[in-house]
Structure 1
Amino acid sequence: MLQIQPYDLEFSYRPGTEIAVVDTISRLHLPDIDKKLHREIEVCVHQIAHALPVSNARLEEIRLHTKEDEHLIYLREAIQGSWPNARKQCAMDLLAYWNLQHELSYMNGIIFKGERIVIPRKMRPQILQQLHVSHLGMEKTKQCARMLVYWPKMNGDIKRQITNCPTCQKHSCNNQKEPLMNSQIQLVPWQQVASDIFDWNEAKYLITVDYHSHFFEVNLLKNLTSKEVISKLKSHFAQHRIPHTIISDNRTQYSST
């Protein structure tokens, strides 16, 4: 799992009835463990551990509590040894990690889930306080936690932490959502259009979309100057010779005739 993290994979399922020839090799895996692969995984985990934005004192504290945590002791033994063959054979302390067994690793006294540290039980309230020290809100706090730490039912603990926070409850009504900007229904084509700039294949393009018909035009841009963009837009307006309203990507309206 650690080796394929740099890649963006897409998986597709095909029923066995649609496979003409059975792929024997994928079903008859080698029973031996590749020692070279195991060594590469250790190097990868070491690199992750050294790059963590955590002080040495805090890592030592996590290491100490991991050693004393009864649940993590069972988890460490399963990672270093072997997991049960079936979920029903799994101990209660390991059930929460059963679906994550291929993402877990143990290095230098700390358990990792991918690049995230598995936090012992005694340290979780302290970590929750640090995650919410800036009162960022529900989603921001969860995003911050998912970048560095992990423990079972972490999202639920974060939700309870924020729900019971007096400061968050006091100021929650002050963060009103911006009202939705409704667009008027256009009666004729090209009465109102939207435009934006995007990258594709190392080139810049301008896309212009008609609100009425959803028809779009794409132009290759030589550069990103306003003169170049205006020139491309005028070429479309000249074809129709009617007033237009442009909605750019920042929702600012312009008129052109």
Structure 2
Amino acid sequence: MPNGEERPISYASRSLTKAEVNYAQIEKEALGIVFGVRKFHQYLYERRFTLMTDHKPLVKIFGPKTNLPAMAAVRIHRWSVELCAYQYDIQYKRSEDHGNADMLSRLPDGQEQETEEEKVCFSYINDMPVSAADIAKETKKDQTLSKVLQFTLNGWPSHTEDTRLKPYFQRKEEITVDAGVLQWGIRVIIPATFRKQLLNELHENHLGINKTKAIARSYVYWPNLDDDIEAMIKD
């Protein structure tokens, strides 16, 4: 408005798909932005507009001049590329300052179907000596990864003093969840139960330290992975 007052002109919402319910919190927040831009494409395309978000990390991730980290989730990269077609600024606004949010806007107006991406996202896990279902099951039992799973789904604390959590805390904006399996980028985060088994599988190829590390880094992650590979091969 001319006096600076903000007034909504339309509302839109939908429920999450079965796959989207398991997205990391940052992905759910990002999905909200992407959904809104897609919904109001006819009003936004080729016009300058401002995106307001109450999730501060998205200001950096979706900022027009931002370079996404290489290990950011694949779908975050895809959404960022999609938003490049629009002319926008993005600003952080605290939740309590979103006074024009309407209760009706939080009611779903329909549920989207799962995309092909969700259907095939675990195709590369099938070649592992353990299944995605086994990894998901052990992740819930793992003393550290069970906490990482909950934080990823529900939001991370502002800081942590737990040394076991710190490697994951440092990567919190890049960790996602699919069907109960934690991933850093496209790398599967392996529970402690299966790490020795995976190392033994890698060692059977007798590729040497450097090649073994390269293969492991392409598919899996856990703290001190490189050190564990070196110790295994030297033994």
Correspondence 1:101 to 2:164: no
Correspondence 1:144 to 2:215: yes
Asked if the contact 2:199–2:232 (Cα under 8 Å) also holds between the matched residues in 1, the reply is yes
Mapped to 1, the partners of 2:124 and 2:157 lie a distance apart of 32
Correspondence 1:29 to 2:92: yes
Q: 2:188 aligns to what SS in structure 1?
A: strand
Measured at CA, do residues 57 and 140 of structure 1 come closer, stay the same or move farther in structure 2, by a change above 3 Å?
A: closer
Asked if the contact 2:152–2:175 (Cα under 8 Å) also holds between the matched residues in 1, the reply is yes
Partner of 1:69: 142
Match of 1:50 among 103, 123, 144: 123
Asked if the contact 1:62–1:120 (Cα under 8 Å) also holds between the matched residues in 2, the reply is yes
Between structures 1 and 2, the one with greater strand share: 1
Measured at CA, do residues 147 and 121 of structure 1 come closer, stay the same or move farther in structure 2, by a change above 3 Å?
A: same
Mapped to 2, the partners of 1:159 and 1:57 lie a distance apart of 22
Correspondence 1:159 to 2:230: yes
Partner of 2:157: 84
Measured at CA, do residues 162 and 60 of structure 1 come closer, stay the same or move farther in structure 2, by a change above 3 Å?
A: same
Mapped to 2, the partners of 1:100 and 1:44 lie a distance apart of 23
Measured at CA, do residues 69 and 101 of structure 1 come closer, stay the same or move farther in structure 2, by a change above 3 Å?
A: same
Moved more, 50-59 or 121-130: 50-59
Structure 1 runs of 4+ with >6 Å offset: 39-43
Q: What whole-Å deviation, never above 9, does each CA across 1:129-149 have from its counterpart, x for those lacking one?
A: 111111100111011101111
Q: What whole-Å deviation, never above 9, does each CA across 1:149-198 have from its counterpart, x for those lacking one?
A: 1101101111111111xxxxxxxxxxxxxxxxxxxxxxxxxxxxxxxxxx
Asked if the contact 1:74–1:93 (Cα under 8 Å) also holds between the matched residues in 2, the reply is no
Asked if the contact 1:75–1:93 (Cα under 8 Å) also holds between the matched residues in 2, the reply is no
Mapped to 2, the partners of 1:80 and 1:4 lie a distance apart of 16
Q: 2:177 aligns to what SS in structure 1?
A: strand
C-alpha displacement at 1:5, in angstroms?
4.6
Correspondence list, 1:187-206, <5 A: none
Q: 1:97 aligns to what SS in structure 2?
A: helix
Partner of 2:200: 129
Asked if the contact 1:132–1:141 (Cα under 8 Å) also holds between the matched residues in 2, the reply is yes
Asked if the contact 1:3–1:41 (Cα under 8 Å) also holds between the matched residues in 2, the reply is no
Correspondence list, 1:100-119, <5 A: 100-119=171-190
Higher RCO, Cα 8 Å, sep 6+: 2
Asked if the contact 2:122–2:132 (Cα under 8 Å) also holds between the matched residues in 1, the reply is no
Runs of 5+ unmatched residues, structure 2 = 1-71, 82-88, 96-105, 107-111
Mapped to 2, the partners of 1:125 and 1:84 lie a distance apart of 31
Mapped to 1, the partners of 2:113 and 2:189 lie a distance apart of 21
Q: 1:52 aligns to what SS in structure 2?
A: helix
Measured at CA, do residues 149 and 163 of structure 1 come closer, stay the same or move farther in structure 2, by a change above 3 Å?
A: same
Count of residue correspondences: 141
Instruction: Report sequence identity in percent.
Output: 26
C-alpha displacement at 1:105, in angstroms?
1.1
Mapped to 1, the partners of 2:115 and 2:156 lie a distance apart of 19
Measured at CA, do residues 110 and 158 of structure 1 come closer, stay the same or move farther in structure 2, by a change above 3 Å?
A: same
Asked if the contact 1:46–1:107 (Cα under 8 Å) also holds between the matched residues in 2, the reply is no
Measured at CA, do residues 84 and 57 of structure 1 come closer, stay the same or move farther in structure 2, by a change above 3 Å?
A: closer
Report the aligned-residue RMSD: 3.3
Q: 1:117 aligns to what SS in structure 2?
A: strand
Runs of 5+ unmatched residues, structure 1 = 10-24, 165-257
| Bigger Rg over Cα | 1
Q: Which amino acid aligns with 1:111?
A: L
C-alpha displacement at 1:60, in angstroms?
2.6
